[in-house]
Structure 1
Amino acid sequence: MTGERYPTTAEVVTGARELTLRYPDLCHLGVVGRSRAGRPLLMLTVGNGSRNVLVVAGPHANEAAVGGATVLRLAALIAATRQRGEDDGSAWHFLLCIDPDGAVLNEPWLHGPYTLRSHYEHFFRPCAAEQPEWLPHSGEAEAAALPETRALVGVLDWLRPVLQCSLHGIDVGGSFVQLTSEVPGVPERISKSAAELDIPLERGSSDAFQWPSPGPGVYVMPPPDDEVAVGDGAHSTWAHARRYGVTAIVEVPMWACDRAADTSPHPDPEQALRIAGAALRRDLPLVAEVLRAIAPQLGGGDCALLRTVRELVALGPRLTADWDPAVRALDAAPLPPMTNARVTSIEVYAQRVPLRAAAMLRRIADVPLVARLVDEWCAAYERAYSPRWIPVADQVEQQARSVIAVYEEMHV
């Protein structure tokens, strides 16, 4: 692997094994669990200190490739540092991919071409219930958790890490970090790195609309009892790890959208949000219609792709409830000041969700209408945001630098 392309899950494992051979006294590779399909969940440990850091790659299957590359970059860096005799008493633990079953479904794209159309031709992301970072809700038995989730929670409770880093990525947008506790100094560090690599910072992420932002591209999770603001994060392994230390969710984009960093006021946010909401409510039903039409061909069959498509089309009416003026409840939490960055984040989201649903449906059934929707929506995506490809090496460098910045600024 040269850094010009993403590694497969097998290549990440190979890279980890090579590190254990190069640094046998510093590196150890072990199995911490099994996936639903029986694949080993592997963890690479670098260093022998008593203060633990955990880095988790692949919590979302479509984001596993950049996370795997970042894990290898960080592990090699830390091993080389320890070999030189620089040891701060920490041990770094890298879960190479927490969802290998999902990651392999995205792998046909990893060798390129790196275009939006090619990306969505091979796209997969599991439904929420099959994503390893989400914990069972109150009242649900612990046994209901995925085996990957149980493995991750077990590692957290065993290591009690002072820092957990969850490696994520987005298709179009900017780079940002979400923290469970504020860490002063991080905004300056990631801003400097992003500027050097020509990657915009996400200044209005729809993932963290109600979260305070202490600086550009950084968001801090509200207290866990504020479930409205925290959202899904309240029932996540990020929240679980609060008892031990800080969690950082580190996002990097594949394609940069410079509007994601534009904090100037949007000229007409209400109209823009109405248009985005209407488009989402228009496009998802088109996918739902095709799904109903081909149901007899599926013969009651089920698969991970189909479960996600069904979830997305069923959630459609609720996906705009927090921000679309046409459907927002009167008692809904007020929106923050709507900058160009915040409106852009919502607009990207409104286009991304139907595109994902159509792309995954196309992988199940080769229906001309679905193929046309994917082609048209990919083209519309590109026209709307003029995304520019960020080289894989730069994506990895920004993610790795962000992890190091959080760790060093914690002064642990």
Structure 2
Amino acid sequence: MSLLPELRYPSVPEVVASARSLAARRPALCALREVGRSRAGRPLLLLSVGHARRAVLVVAGAHSNEPAGGATLLAVAERVLNERELRRGTSWHFLLCADPDGASLHVTPAPRSLFDYHLGFFRPAGHEQPEWSPSVLPPDRLPPETRALTGVIDELRPYLQVTLHGTDLGGSWVQLTKDIPGLAEPFAKSAAELNIPVETGASDAAGWPASGPGVHVMPAPGAGAAYPSMPDDARNSTWYHAHRYGGLTAIVEVPMWASDLVDDPAPHPAPAVALRRLAGRLLRDATLVERVLADATPRLPDLDGPLLRAARWGLELVPGLAADWMHTPPADDTRAYVGSVDAFARRLPLRAAAMLLRVLLEHDDRAAPRLERLVAAWSEAFADRFRARWVPLEHQIEHQSRTVVAAALHARDRAA
């Protein structure tokens, strides 16, 4: 399952070292090459297995706070090398980390709790995220990581792009830019075998049609947004870049901690009332973080570092999102969906607080102890509310790997 001597989330240098080892072991079949450089000059590396024109592209590390992807990528690459059937008429290509700069700032090799996870938290502002930047920036301002990713898609023209994502607490789900008939069954079977709940009402896919429990298909262009205030649109992301070549993208999400509350399809008795209540809590929590930020700002020497940029960006989303939940009819009326919104409403201020805390601790600011208590309390409340249980890392990797392979096989049949 892993090329690492111990089972934990690998760092980007460890993923690169393992990929080099694979390429050296089978040089006739594998190649590792640089396809670009990050904003800070870090190499963006692509491992290729096989030489067929028909291609699958697997992308890890698009979000720095979702660390399972690197280990999954290595597991899938190992499986492709060992199973000739997976290479029949198909080459596989693995972008080892789409955002190595972001990965260098998120520190969570083996978190013991949600609080521990948040002490090392980093997730860049939306316009700095490689997959999302095309949805909010003009083409001439796209970061080099985005241009490298779209350049790889232009070169390979994959029939399938799979991008490996994750969630801190919840369940597993899949987002598809086009349906892959037959994927829902192996996805659900894998999740059940590994005791991973399927997130049937993921707020990330609010209002999208489903081809099976937890398998969501993005709506066609022109469909109304579930959250009108959100500044981005998945249909303008790099996920849709493969469509120009007849391909599609699958986004595979896997949880670090599971909650058995996220797969309840029963109708919620009062979803609109619940969303208004969650919106109010979101506004109150964000205000607490904003007050700490306002108090500390005059004492901070650098107000434009990546942690503060990301914290402010998250806080800026709050008023519009709260208004959406208060005034827009719920996109889904299930308990699972309301629970997913509850988790979303906890994440935004908690993540902003966690990143601000890292800045305050670095400068030994007097506001740090107060904010650390808040991050600890919110992390504990989040875990308690959703009855969080750790998903063994080997299960995270196995489920995500199985889903990647199932998507590739079923999409290949679709494209044939």
TM-score, length-normalised on structure 2?
A: 0.92
Give the superposition deviation at 1:255.
Answer: 0.5
Q: Does 1:222 align with 2:223?
A: no
Counterpart among 165, 170, 179 of residue 167 in structure 2? 170
Q: SS state of the match for residue 94, structure 1?
A: strand
How do 1:211-290 and structure 2 match up within 5 A?
A: 211-226=208-223, 228=225, 232-244=233-245, 245-290=247-292
Give the superposition deviation at 1:300.
Answer: 4.8
How do 1:328-407 and structure 2 match up within 5 A?
A: 328=327, 332=328, 334-366=329-361, 367-407=368-408
Identity of counterpart residues, as a percentage? 50
How do 1:4-403 and structure 2 match up within 5 A?
A: 4-63=7-66, 65-82=67-84, 87-107=87-107, 109-110=108-109, 112-136=110-134, 141-226=138-223, 228=225, 232-244=233-245, 245-324=247-326, 328=327, 332=328, 334-366=329-361, 367-403=368-404
Give the superposition deviation at 1:104.
Answer: 1.5
Q: What are the ranges of 5 or more consecutive residues in structure 1 without an aligned counterpart?
A: none
Q: 1:269 to 1:3 in 2, by over 3 A?
A: farther
Give the superposition deviation at 1:136.
Answer: 3.4
- Between the aligned partners of 1:137 and 1:68, the Cα distance in structure 2 is 25
Q: What are the ranges of 5 or more consecutive residues in structure 2 without an aligned counterpart?
A: 362-367
State the Cα deviation string for residues 173-194 of structure 1 (Å, max 9, x = none).
1101000111111111100000
Q: SS state of the match for residue 37, structure 1?
A: coil
Give the superposition deviation at 1:226.
Answer: 3.0
- Between the aligned partners of 1:380 and 1:372, the Cα distance in structure 2 is 12
Q: SS state of the match for residue 365, structure 1?
A: helix
Give the superposition deviation at 1:269.
Answer: 2.2
- Could you tell me whether the CA contact under 8 Å between 2:134 and 2:238 is conserved in 1? no
- Could you tell me whether the CA contact under 8 Å between 2:188 and 2:213 is conserved in 1? yes
- Give the letter aligned to residue 396 of structure 2: Q
Q: SS state of the match for residue 78, structure 1?
A: helix
Which stretch has the larger CA shift, 180-189 or 298-307? 298-307
- Could you tell me whether the CA contact under 8 Å between 2:130 and 2:143 is conserved in 1? yes
Give the superposition deviation at 1:268.
Answer: 2.9
State the Cα deviation string for residues 236-264 of structure 1 (Å, max 9, x = none).
00122212201001100000011111111
State the Cα deviation string for residues 185-216 of structure 1 (Å, max 9, x = none).
11111000000000000100001111101111
- Between the aligned partners of 1:212 and 1:130, the Cα distance in structure 2 is 29
State the Cα deviation string for residues 38-96 of structure 1 (Å, max 9, x = none).
00000000111110110110111111x211101100001001123xx774111100000
- Could you tell me whether the CA contact under 8 Å between 1:224 and 1:239 is conserved in 2? no
Q: 1:69 to 1:23 in 2, by over 3 A?
A: same
- Give the letter aligned to residue 297 of structure 1: R
- Between the aligned partners of 2:55 and 2:6, the Cα distance in structure 1 is 28
Coordinate RMSD, CA, aligned:
1.7
State the Cα deviation string for residues 91-118 of structure 1 (Å, max 9, x = none).
10000001001112123x20x3431111
- Between the aligned partners of 1:58 and 1:50, the Cα distance in structure 2 is 25
- Between the aligned partners of 1:100 and 1:294, the Cα distance in structure 2 is 29
State the Cα deviation string for residues 274-309 of structure 1 (Å, max 9, x = none).
221111000011111111111111135321100011
- Could you tell me whether the CA contact under 8 Å between 1:71 and 1:96 is conserved in 2? yes
Q: 1:266 to 1:154 in 2, by over 3 A?
A: same
- Could you tell me whether the CA contact under 8 Å between 1:173 and 1:202 is conserved in 2? yes
In structure 1, the residue matched to 2:364 is: none
Give the superposition deviation at 1:356.
Answer: 0.4
- Could you tell me whether the CA contact under 8 Å between 1:222 and 1:229 is conserved in 2? no
Q: SS state of the match for residue 171, structure 1?
A: strand
Give the superposition deviation at 1:340.
Answer: 1.1
Q: How many residues align?
A: 399
Q: 1:369 to 1:21 in 2, by over 3 A?
A: same
TM-score, length-normalised on structure 1?
A: 0.93
Give the superposition deviation at 1:266.
Answer: 1.6
- Give the letter aligned to residue 263 of structure 2: A
Give the superposition deviation at 1:229.
Answer: 5.7
- Could you tell me whether the CA contact under 8 Å between 1:36 and 1:148 is conserved in 2? yes
- Between the aligned partners of 1:337 and 1:87, the Cα distance in structure 2 is 40
State the Cα deviation string for residues 306-337 of structure 1 (Å, max 9, x = none).
0011112222101223323xxx1xxx4x4344
Q: SS state of the match for residue 208, structure 2?
A: coil
- Could you tell me whether the CA contact under 8 Å between 2:125 and 2:310 is conserved in 1? yes
